[in-house]
Structures are given as C-alpha cells and as structure tokens.
Chains A and B, each alone.
Chain A
Amino acid sequence: MEKETWIDGMMMKGKVYVAGDNVVSSLGFTSEENFAHLKKMETGVKQYNDASLWMEPLMASRVDDVRLEREFAKLGSSEGFTRLEKMMLVSATAALSENKKIDISSSRTLIIVSSTKGNIELLDKEEGKRFEKKRLYLWETAAQVARFMGNPNKPLVVSNACISGVLAIILAKRLLDEGKYDTMVVIGADSLTKFVVSGFQSFKAVSNEVAKPYDAKRTGISLGEGCGTMVLTNDETKLNDAERILVMGGASSNDANHISGPSRTGDGLQMAIEKTLSEAMMPAEEIDFISGHGTATQFNDDMESLAVANTQLGAVPMNSLKSYFGHTLGAAGIIESVMGVHSMRQNTLIGTYNFEELGVPATVNIIKDTRAEEVNNCLKTAAGFGGCNAAVLFEKLTSRARA
C-alpha cells in the first residue's frame, strides 16, 4: 500500500529516500571507513592527556586534526573556518561527491544543521579573538556552511540536545513530504571542547573507561565529536544505486518529568517509538534492528530498556555505538543513523563494543558480537536533556510486500 496524503490541494507521496551519506569521526572520514571499523569492533575511544580539554586523563573519541586539515585543504578553501565548520564542510562535500545527481545549488535543496553547542569554544577569550563574535551563533555557523556549499536557501538549525540529529532527519522527511523541496542535506556536528567536558564532568557522568552501554558494570558516558551527513530526497531519479533505503517516519515526545534525568518508566520514549511505528504502519514484530541511544549512564540505559520492552521490541537485536564514537551530542543521531543504513546495506549487525553482561531492568537483546544477518529495517532512538525523546524508522523498499 502506498501512502498518499493531500496537503493544500497537492498530492504528495510519502516516499523519502537516503541519497547519500558521510561520517567524519575518530574512526574515519567516509561512511565505509567508519563502518569497516565497526565491523571489526574497533573503537575510536581512547585516552587523551590534553590539559586544554581536561586536567586529568580523559577517555574520548576525537577527530584527527592533521587529517581534518588535509581533507579540508582539498576543498580548495582559504582559512576562516572553525574546526567544527571544517568537519561539517568536509562531511557534507564528501556525501554530495558520491551522488552527482544531487544539485546543492538548487532552490529546491535545503540544508538542515543539527548541533547542540556549535562554535562554543569561541566563548574562550583567546579562541574568540580569531573570529567575529557572531560566529558564536548557530545560525551564522549554518549560514557559513550554506554559503560555502553554494546553497541559495537559508538553512534550518535544530538545537534540541541529544535528539537533535534524529529530529533533523524527521524534520527533513516531513518537509520533503510537503513538497516545497526535493532534497535535504542534513548535517549534524559537535566538537569536543573544554566547555562540554567540564560540564559532563561536573555531573560526574563521564566514565574512566570506554563506555559500556547497557552493561551491568557501566559507569557513564564517553564523550566524542564528529559530523554526520545524510542526504534525503523525495525524487527517486536522484538516487545512485539500485537499493532503496526509505525514511518511513518518526516522532518526538517529552517526558514532562525532569530536565536532566530521563523518565523512570520510559513512557516518553515509548510514545515516540509507538508513534513512529504507527506512522510507518510497521508492526513491532517486523522490526529487525534497533540502533539505541545507549549512553551508558545508569538512568538512560535503564529507561531505554523499559521503553523498548514495553513496545514489544525486547527481543529485537539492538546496539549502541556510543562505545565506538563516544557521545557526539548533536551529531550522534545522524552518525548512528548513517551507520544503521549501512547495516541494512551490508546486512550486518554491529556488536556493542565493551558490552559484556546485561544490566538493565527490562530484558533487551543487545548485540554482543558483529554478525551477518538480514537487516531490512532499522529503528533509531534517542533521548536527551530537557526530557526529550525521538525515534525514526528506516526501511529497505524491497523488504516488505506492499499491496
């Protein structure tokens, strides 16, 4: 059955396809390079002794500066961009370079930026001297990216804590369904700064070892940085390869419970998952894979297990990539979605690095070791400060018989 809706007298087809993607992280500068490391279960989290970030040794996932500069130099640009903007430009350019049918200069292409903190390091007096003050504003960061990429539209910026990336994908899908645009370039990025490290340290939320998502012995998050880009289109002729990966739907919700702690019952995330499955007309028993949020804090992973079990998804293979990339904040939802898409393309379920023994209140099926398995769809979930939750569902077009 094909979904059709009427909006403002125009007929829309609710098909939104993934048309390109990229990940820039500690594990590489292309999606393939990143995914190859995940398949081998190699983490990008390691120990840093860098006083500019934290006065003690810090476990974190960082983008290699030398390589970032080298990749950025290839774009033929002069100086004048922050480190975060360089990650965004390198990632978005790489995603677009793989699909020549996408026209970034078209008025029907829109850029959506997802970030929690943008160029926050410019608040530092020394760092701040290098750029105009307005570069602190996320709308200016997005405008810089759009200008460099040669896109004529004013970009949208979503800044909604750790669900920003998933929300940006949901927003892109909805805007494509409205028909005003045919292509969305969704770019999620955050960089690792003293600002963020000191804040999470003050919460005593950072683990001294590589994060252990959903594990009985988990002791907190690993922080990370990076950029993910996902190109989405409602125009099938703009696709490169035969395989069709669709964004089927998504939803957000709020716990209305606490600003820094998740719901104890998982009801908010449960609602976002239920609305997502309902929009996609996907029964829970047909879900093949859940790419979880899995920050490895006590409360988040507990909450997530309840939400997943209460939506009858407890038996579905599930992982968290936070022990590979660290928590990349506004980039996380996009980086993890891109990796989920590659799990579908390569029919490979990625094991959760550092996971040993389940330690959450409801039974969930955490993938321990990477394995080959048919993956026809991927449910990506996220939760964040401010009590927010989000879920989005990707599916291979050929996977489900549609009458």
Chain B
Amino acid sequence: MENTTKITAACVIENGKVYVNSKLDFAAEGSATSLDFLKAAYTHYQLNYPKFYKMDSLCKLAMVASELLMRTNRINEKYASEAIALIIANGASSLEIDTEHQVSIADEANFFPSPAVFVYTLPNILIGEIAIRNKIKGENTFFIFDTFDEDFIHSYTDSLMNNDKAKCVIAGWVDFYEDKYRAFLYTVERTNEGEAHTTTNINKLIDNKLNFERN
C-alpha cells in the first residue's frame, strides 16, 4: 500500500553475529571480548573509516550497525540530509565510557581525565557519529529505556513522518555496557516496498524473523 510507513531495511548485532535484513551476514563468535568482535566486524566489512579506532565501544557498535544499514539501503542518496531523522535509544546510556572517565579521576595521585574520553560520555554522541559519517542533518533524539519501548518508538516515528518532520527515520537501539552489547537499527520510509511499519514487525526484525524478501 502506498502512503503508509514501511520498514525498509534492518541490521541487528548481537552475540558475535551480524544480521542484515534478518539474514546472518557475519559471525565471529570466538571473539575474546565484545570489542574484539567489533574490530573483527570492522575488518571483515572493510569499513575503511580510521576514525572508528578513536571511538568508544558504544560508538564503534553504532558505526558497524549503521554502516551495514546504509550499505543495504542507501537512504542518503534518496533523501535530503535534513529529511532523515535519527531516533535511537539504549538502556545504559554511556556508562561504559563513563566508567573509564571515572577511573581517570578516582585517584588524586593518578589523576588523568582526558577530553578524548570525556567527549564520549554522552549517549547521543553515537547519533553525532552516524550523522557525520552519512551527512544526516534532520531531527535527532536519544532516549533511555529499561528495555526497548517499541510502542513509543513506533508511534513517535510515525508521528515525525505524518507531520512532515522527516521523510525517513533511522530508529533502533544501540547498547554497550560491561562487555554486553546489542544493536538493532532499521529504516522507516513511506514507500510501496518493505514491510508494514508495525510494532509486530519491529519485534520480528529484532528477532531476525522479518521477511524482507517478498518485495
């Protein structure tokens, strides 16, 4: 159906696996740490973005997920930079890198706070990194939930699109804390192709069970 919002692409990263449009695309389950896995994914996909190595783990995760999403669905070739919105959430904010900053200030005798660390102590920096990499300038908001609130994100995404605040929304979840991580990002557009943008289908894409092949 035309003129309804559709889920047009998705990337899920969890448990040492990368899924693109619900299909397993890369696995490095033997990675010693979550960070090792992200570096392995970076190399595997030849992301070729040296800035990646400067980023904190949360942004590295966001970068891999967003790169694969954008390779699958080149929305930045379809829409003006200000027409794409980024609506992303997580549970642990930036606590992973916050802990690193805290360690650097905990001991008076060994006091070494660093701007290169501190700049990442905000969760929306990952939105900034995705925006810079892909020249996205539209609406952007970072939410914190205990668990992903698909009802809210679904209705807010539709509201942005229905009220002409965005023509395309990148929505999802990017979380990294204490060596646990999970990311899923998906694109929502108004188009004939893709799966209906419903909370049921959002939950399916999170579980890698949304069928993107029908179109």
Contacts and interface: CB of A to CB of B under 8 A. Distances in A.
Interface of A: 5, 7, 55, 116-118, 120, 123-125, 136-140, 142-143, 154, 156-161, 167, 171, 174-175, 177-178, 180, 194-195, 198-203, 251-260, 268, 271, 384-388
B113 A259 contact: no
Contacts of B149: 154
Given A160-B142, A260-B119, A268-B137, A254 B101 contact: no
B15 to A, nearest CB: 22
Given A158-B143, A159-B122, A252-B141, A202 B115 contact: yes
B140 to A, nearest CB: 5
Nearest to B119: A260
A384 B135 CA distance: 17
A136 B178 CA distance: 13
B31 interface: no
Where chain A touches its partner, the secondary structure class is: mixed
Q: Which has the most chain A C-beta neighbours within 10 Å: B118, B129, B162?
A: B118
A385 B138 contact: no
A385 B122 contact: yes
A7 B98 contact: no
Nearest to A271: B82
B98 A160 contact: no
Contacts of B111: 198
A388 B131 CA distance: 10
A-B pairs, top 3 by smallest CB distance, nearest first, are: A386-B128, A199-B118, A202-B113
A55 B136 contact: no
B74 to A, nearest CB: 16
Interface in B89-126: 91-93, 95, 98-99, 101-102, 104-106, 108, 111, 113-115, 118-119, 121-125
Given A254-B137, A385-B125, A137 B91 contact: yes
B159 interface: yes
B163 A254 contact: no
Contacts of A198: 101, 104-105, 111, 113, 118
Contacts, number: 156
B119 A254 contact: no
22 contacts: A5-B163, A7-B162, A137-B95, A138-B144, A139-B146, A143-B146, A157-B143, A160-B124, A161-B124, A171-B141, A175-B156, A178-B155, A198-B101, A199-B115, A202-B113, A254-B128, A256-B81, A256-B135, A259-B125, A259-B129, A260-B119, A385-B122
A174 B123 CA distance: 23
B103 to A, nearest CB: 9
Given A158-B144, A159-B144, 5 more contacts: A154-B149, A159-B122, A199-B101, A258-B132, A388-B124
Interface of B: 81-82, 86, 91-93, 95, 98-99, 101-102, 104-106, 108, 111, 113-115, 118-119, 121-125, 127-129, 131-132, 134-146, 149, 152, 155-156, 159, 162-163, 165
Contacts of B125: 161, 259, 385-386
B143 A123 contact: no
A259 B132 contact: yes
B113 A161 contact: no
Contact of A160 (B102, B134, B140): B140
Q: Which has the most chain A C-beta neighbours within 10 Å: B121, B125, B144, B159?
A: B144
Given A137-B91, A201-B113, A116 B122 contact: yes
A214 to B, nearest CB: 24
A304 to B, nearest CB: 17
B93 A137 contact: yes
B82 A253 contact: yes
Contacts of A387: 128, 131-132
A159 B128 contact: no
A157 B144 contact: yes
Given A125-B106, A254-B86, A386-B128, A160 B165 contact: no
B23 to A, nearest CB: 30
B123 A159 contact: yes
Contacts of A118: 93
B141 A259 contact: no
A271 B113 contact: no
Contacts of A178: 155, 159
Contacts of B102: 123-124, 195
Nearest to A274: B82
Given A158-B142, A159-B123, A160-B141, A136 B118 contact: no
A386 B146 contact: no
Contacts of A5: 163
Contact of A385 (B119, B131, B137, B144): B119
Contacts of B127: 160, 254, 386, 388
A5 B159 CA distance: 12
